[in-house]
Amino acid sequence: MSYELVQVLDGNTFVVSDKCGDIEPSLLDATGLFSFDTRFLSKWVLTVNGERLNALSTDDLQYFETRFFLVPGTGTVYIDAKLSVIRQRAVGNGFHEELTILNHDEKPVDLTVRVEADCDFADLFEVKDALAKKGSYTTRVADGRLVLGYERETYKRETWIEATAPAAIDEHGLTFAAHVEPHGEWTTDLHVITASGGLGFHLDRTKYERNAKKALPIMEHSLEKWVGDAPRLECDWAWLKTTYQRSLVDLAALRFEPVAFPGQSLPAAGLPWFMTMFGRDSIFTSLQTLPFTPELAATTLRALGQRQGTRVDDFREEEPGRILHEMRFGELTAFEERPHSPYYGSADATPLFVVLLDEYERWTGDTKLVRELEYEARAALNWIDEFGDRLGNGYISYQRRNETSGLENQSWKDSWDSISYHDGSLPGFPRATCELQGYAYDAKMRGARLARLVWRDAAFADRLEKEAAGLKRRFNRDFWIGDRGFFAVALDADGRQVDSLNSNIGHLLWSGIVDKSKARAVVSHLMGPHLFSGWGVRSLADDEGRFNPIGYHVGTVWPFDNSIIAWGLRRYGYKQEAARIAAAMFDAADFFDGRLPEAFAGYPRELTKYPVQYPTACSPQAWSTGAPLLLVRTMLGLEPIGDNLIVDPVLPVGIGHVELLDIPGRWGRVDAFGRGRVDTRKKSLRRQELGILGEYKPTKTR
């Protein structure tokens, strides 16, 4: 299946089709027109004279607009066609499709053009889990349009379909009688409009059509402004520029406006399953993109603060001060058959909220937002100790309370088998994963800075710093596996070390919780052959019992993960190692046409000439889209110190220079420059740099 992402003005609508633009009726695939977690179109099939069409090419004009070039027939051998068909589709309050048929013959033709349409109005969870519907369907032809409807008590959704050319409309679609002169064309515009509300809601046809017409030019202007406001990247490696530009455009595609903050946007997690607000994903993406699009961070903080937990609710796993994990708007959530209204089953989003608030202020100097969110930040810091410490041992741990639909693992590696012992067996619950403690340490240190600088509460700052110091001391004692030279991925409920080697240890460097005396050993493992594949750091080392190079969190390479690891390497002075990770990621991006997917296989680079795709990876995905931007930051060594931006570049071999121009921040707009090394032995040097040849030895740079 070929995914094409297009975006409506509110950022929560997308179309997934095959390479011909058709949508086949399938409950098990994320194909269709989706808006706010509901599928508004599950079938959309074009035929000419009863014949399906074959794709010549598919062009992504913009993230919200796609063009399909087609010919009749589905045979494997191409015979010069006398007809060709162009479908140009743009999403906006549903989608608009311009259908054009070209006659290349010297004789006129009469054609029967048919568009079959249907809708199951499936909730996204129903699509994923193949669940049956509980409401009733309606289909009618009214006012020159096909209206598909669904009702369940007070929940109502409709899809309207109409065309500009005369059509015979029935309950299953639209039929056109097209006459096309020699070397002439026939065209019609098809409008698919989504509408939702409670029973008895009034569907204002004029309003919906007006909004649909406005959407395309508004999105075009929005994209132009978005790219124009971002820093400009110049370098002598063309593919780096391509990847950078692709990341900016994909970020624009993944934006959506929270209902409470019109005109502001934050990143959705990814296509096709996660086009909504995720606490962890939105925070990490905002951290990655701060030097480029700081407005994402501001909206993310406001939106997450507004939805912060205020009570104890086992169904939603809500607790006072806890930051949400996921927000959904579909039928199952509306009827409380899923807890996502919102769902709070995340142990890391809450400390990360404080981390983002501080990093945002360091970049922008926006103390007003820090004062505005003081209550929410204090509540988040309080959650760490009052609710996050479930065993009373001073560590954040997690255990789901919603046994039917809650997440077992509530860390970023949230698949069921992601946390394991060296022999591959799984620990019980609660689990205290190592990176959670790093995030808690960082949140306390950053919270102390904000308390002292902005909230003018020195006593609170002193307390947080004291707690952070104690946490760091205990952590380096309890999690350190001395005979193996790295930190355990977790402690189990009995305080026993979960002793597998994971990429999580790179997050510990980013948080600053690692004792300097242990950092070199951690770096050796991160860049050694068991974790580093040559394409990036694997999520699980290849000598661990549960390792699988194509397992979701047990051996694949995650670009997001690698960008955070590179940031951590810079923090501890391992600049060359950070550059190696950046080189690996940008090399991989070359094979993915500039768009890094959610994850790819963890095979060693000497085995594969290209990174192997992970079959169900989201693409684009927000924090993979943000990864190249953060890697540019780490290569240039960008760090805000007071009202100044420090630039300390270390570039990978083969990149002669990088310029990042007009970087926004509290300093206004500034430029950063980096010069690297280009050598006639580039290929050999790059292979050594990526750790493919010989034994790896870390080098720390002051």
Tens of pLDDT along 317-356? 999 999 999 999 899 999 999 999 999 999 999 999 999 9
Q: Cis link prior to 620 (omega < 30° from 0)?
A: yes
Pair 599, 552: CB distance under 8 Å: yes
The fraction of the chain above a pLDDT of 70, given in percent, is 91
The pLDDT assigned to 9 comes to 38
Q: Is 390 exposed, middle or buried (0-12, 13-18, 19+ CB in 10 A)?
A: middle
The pLDDT assigned to 198 comes to 54
SS3 102: strand
- Chain centroid to Cα 596, Å, comes to 11
- Residue 574 tokens, joined: 């391992």
Q: Pick 183 or 130 by higher pLDDT.
A: 183
Q: Is 179 exposed, middle or buried (0-12, 13-18, 19+ CB in 10 A)?
A: exposed
> What crossing angle do the helices spanning 279-289 and 294-306 adopt, rounded to 10°?
160
Tens of pLDDT along 620-637? 899 999 999 999 999 999
SS3 489: coil
Pairing mode, strands 480-481 and 497-498:
unpaired
Q: Which numeric CATH code is attached to 230-689?
A: 1.50.10.10
Q: What is the mean pLDDT of residues 101-116?
A: 96
The pLDDT assigned to 681 comes to 47
Q: Which of 321, 489, 332, 346 is nearest to 406 (CA)?
A: 346
Q: What is the mean pLDDT of residues 655-663?
A: 94
Q: What is the mean pLDDT of residues 482-495?
A: 96
- Indicate the average pLDDT of the chain: 90
- Residue 268 tokens, joined: 């959705």
Res. 376: pLDDT tops 50: yes
**Strands, sheet with 657-665, edge to edge from the N-terminal-most edge strand:** 232-235, 657-665, 668-675
Which range, of 58-67, 370-379, 380-389, 442-451, averages the lowest pLDDT?
58-67
The pLDDT assigned to 686 comes to 52
End-to-end CA distance of the chain: 49
The pLDDT assigned to 442 comes to 98
Tens of pLDDT along 280-291? 999 999 999 999
How many angstroms separate the CA atoms of 177 and 609, rounded?
52
Going by pLDDT thresholds of 50, 70 and 90, the confidence category of residue 7 is: very low
User: Which residues lie across from 568 on neighbouring strands?
Assistant: none
CB neighbours of 121 closer than 8 A, spacing ≥ 6? Answer: 38, 39, 40, 133, 135, 137, 148, 150, 157, 331
**Strands, sheet with 38-41, edge to edge from the N-terminal-most edge strand:** 13-16, 32-35, 38-41
Long-range Cβ contact pairs of 272-275 (< 8 A, separation 24 or more): 272/3, 272/14, 272/16, 272/30, 272/34, 272/618, 273/30, 273/124, 273/128, 273/618, 274/618, 274/621, 275/11, 275/12, 275/14, 275/34, 275/37
What is the sign of the dihedral through the CA atoms of 285, 291, 296 and 300? Answer: positive
Pair 559, 596: CB distance under 8 Å: yes
Q: Is 3 exposed, middle or buried (0-12, 13-18, 19+ CB in 10 A)?
A: middle
Q: Provide, for the chain, the percentages of residues in helix, strand and coil under a 3-state DSSP scheme, each rounded to the nearest 5.
A: 30, 25, 45
The pLDDT assigned to 288 comes to 98
Cα–Cα distances in angstroms (integers) from residue 691 to residues 120, 203, 321, in the given order:
51, 61, 43
Tens of pLDDT along 410-420? 999 999 999 99
Pair 380, 354: CB distance under 8 Å: yes
Residue 381: CB atoms within 10 Å: 27
Cα–Cα distances in angstroms (integers) from residue 113 to residues 83, 90, 183, in the given order:
13, 21, 18
How many angstroms separate the CA atoms of 349 and 388, rounded?
11
Geometric angle at alpha carbon 217, from 215 and 218, rounded to 5°: 60
> What crossing angle do the helices spanning 559-571 and 575-591 adopt, rounded to 10°?
160
Q: Cis link prior to 291 (omega < 30° from 0)?
A: no
The pLDDT assigned to 78 comes to 57
Q: Which of 447, 417, 405, 413 is nearest to 433 (CA)?
A: 413
Res. 597: pLDDT tops 80: yes
Q: Pick 349 or 687 by higher pLDDT.
A: 349
CB half-sphere exposure, 554, CA atoms < 13 A: 20
Q: Pick 37 or 454 by higher pLDDT.
A: 454
The pLDDT assigned to 687 comes to 52
The pLDDT assigned to 570 comes to 97
Pair 612, 603: CB distance under 8 Å: yes
Going by pLDDT thresholds of 50, 70 and 90, the confidence category of residue 200 is: very low
For residue 496, give the amino acid letter.
Answer: R
How many angstroms separate the CA atoms of 275 and 254, rounded?
7
Residue 182: CB atoms within 10 Å: 11
Residue 80: CB atoms within 10 Å: 6
Helix and strand element counts for the chain (H, E)? 17, 27
Going by pLDDT thresholds of 50, 70 and 90, the confidence category of residue 28 is: low
Tens of pLDDT along 490-547? 999 999 999 999 999 999 999 999 999 999 999 999 999 999 999 999 999 999 999 9
Domain boundaries, the chain: 13-219, 230-689
How many angstroms separate the CA atoms of 178 and 187, rounded?
9
**Strands, sheet with 83-91, edge to edge from the N-terminal-most edge strand:** 53-62, 65-72, 83-91, 94-103, 185-197, 155-163, 145-152, 136-142
The pLDDT assigned to 386 comes to 97
Going by pLDDT thresholds of 50, 70 and 90, the confidence category of residue 308 is: very high
Pair 399, 430: CB distance under 8 Å: yes
Cα–Cα distances in angstroms (integers) from residue 110 to residues 102, 176, 185, in the given order:
12, 10, 12
Res. 75: pLDDT tops 80: no
The pLDDT assigned to 335 comes to 92
Res. 650: pLDDT tops 80: yes
Res. 692: pLDDT tops 60: no
Q: Which numeric CATH code is attached to 13-219?
A: 2.70.98
Res. 382: pLDDT tops 70: yes
Q: Which of 284, 357, 244 is nearest to 567 (CA)?
A: 284
Res. 454: pLDDT tops 60: yes
pTM (two decimals): 0.91
The pLDDT assigned to 6 comes to 39
Pair 242, 248: CB distance under 8 Å: no
Q: Is 452 exposed, middle or buried (0-12, 13-18, 19+ CB in 10 A)?
A: middle
